[in-house]
Amino acid sequence: MKDMYILGIESSCDETSASIVKNGTEEIATVISSQIDIHKDYGGVVPEIASRHHVKNITMVLEECLEKANMKMEDIDAIAITYGPGLIGSLLIGLEAAKTLSFIYNKPLIPVHHIAGHIYANSLVKPLEFPLLAVVVSGGHTELVEMVEHYKFKKIGGTLDDAIGECYDKVARVIGLEYPGGPKLDKLAAEGEDTYKLPVPLQDDSYNFSFSGLKSAVINLAHNEEQRDSKIREADLATSFQKVAVESITSKVRKAIEEKHIKNIIVAGGVAANKGLRKAMEDVAEEYKINITIPPMKYCTDNGTMIAAAGYYAYLDGRRADLNLNSKSQDTLK
Ligand code: KG4
Ligand code: ZN
């Protein structure tokens, strides 16, 4: 088969990104325009502001990406686009750009689920080996997904309430860290000691997760300390929280390894950037002597590279969309 160059476009939250990837594994060029500094003042992503900035940035990001790759639209074989899930207004900007390019240059349009993108960020490290267990940990998702071949996803467990990234961000806010709190909390966790007692959530027989109880426990703890006029020890609280949050993931991963005889694990999503989780997952893999892949930091949070990589395998799976493709704020990975 001839080489395939896929242009991936991602705009589901606060990053406008375009990337060109060769054959699903080789990054040619990527441009990411982040809005973190804009949303920082509000303590979180403001959807309407995010959409407006996507409008402002999308053409520039696409032009810059092609320029960086030293390619023209004519050299691109297909366009992969995040159709969902995410913020609807943000998604629509990327989608309209992708549809327009697909129409003008007569290129196939490939719909990519955002989480499939996070999963396939790993194929930029090395080709996926099956069967595998994908540990999806992001701002909107916490799931265990089994894959027996490319583009066949079987969810075996998920969060019953908050996603782990969402929980990190809320706890970070309680501790007084600036948005986005997850990475800052991770950094602080390396400086403290595990002195606060927090409950490890949902130690049951399922592959599910729950983070709202843990979040409430931290909020209550902070309020109680405040009422007693004593100050929380931020670093210690960060360490204690991180330990429990990570353990709640690894305990279910261990269960899956033991019961389902998993041999390959990949970690996917923004929280895959978490140092505590990376180390704990590597330790689990070492203990059970199984293969593990964790994307480098640059592929963990939202980017067009992972969408282009996923788009290649979606293309091989026969997935195509026409100009009727619409964005979806929520959608199951399938
Ligand atoms: O995957 P992502 O970019 O967005 C979604 O698809 O949801 O993930 C963003 C989430 C945010 O909640 C952010 O705080 C969290 O990932 N995150 C981290 C770290 N880096 C990003 N959480 C904990 N530790 C980190 N180092
Ligand atoms: Zn994401």
Nearest CA to ligand 1 atom 7: 139
Distance between Cα 134 and ligand 2 center (Å):
14
What's the pLDDT at 180? 85
Distance between Cα 2 and ligand 2 center (Å):
30
Domain 128-294, CATH among 1.10.3720.10, 2.40.30.10, 3.30.420.40, 2.40.10.10? 3.30.420.40
- Any ligand 1 atom below 6 A from CB of 85: no
Nearest CA to ligand 1 atom 14: 182
- Any ligand 1 atom below 6 A from CB of 86: no
What's the pLDDT at 320? 98
What's the pLDDT at 228? 83
pLDDT digits (tens, 9 = 90+) for 107-132: 999 999 999 999 999 999 999 999 99
Q: Pinpoint the residues of the chain covered by CATH 3.30.420.40.
A: 5-120+299-316, 128-294
In this prediction the pTM is 0.96
193: left (phi over 0), alpha (psi -120 to 50) or beta: beta
pLDDT digits (tens, 9 = 90+) for 64-79: 999 999 999 999 999 9
Q: Is 3 helix (H, G, I), strand (E, B) or coil?
A: coil
Contact residues for 272 (Cβ-Cβ < 8 A; gap 6+): 118, 135, 137, 278, 294, 295, 300
What's the pLDDT at 189? 97
Taking 70 as the pLDDT cut, the residues of the chain under it are none
Domain 5-120+299-316, CATH among 3.40.50.300, 1.10.357.10, 3.30.420.40, 3.40.440.10? 3.30.420.40
Which atom of ligand 1 is the closest one to the Cα of 115? 6
Residue 286 C-beta-side C-alpha neighbours within 13 Å: 6
Question: Sign of dihedral through CA atoms 194, 200, 205, 210?
Answer: negative
Here the tokens at position 183 are 């990475």
What's the pLDDT at 334? 92
Distance between Cα 167 and ligand 1 center (Å):
10
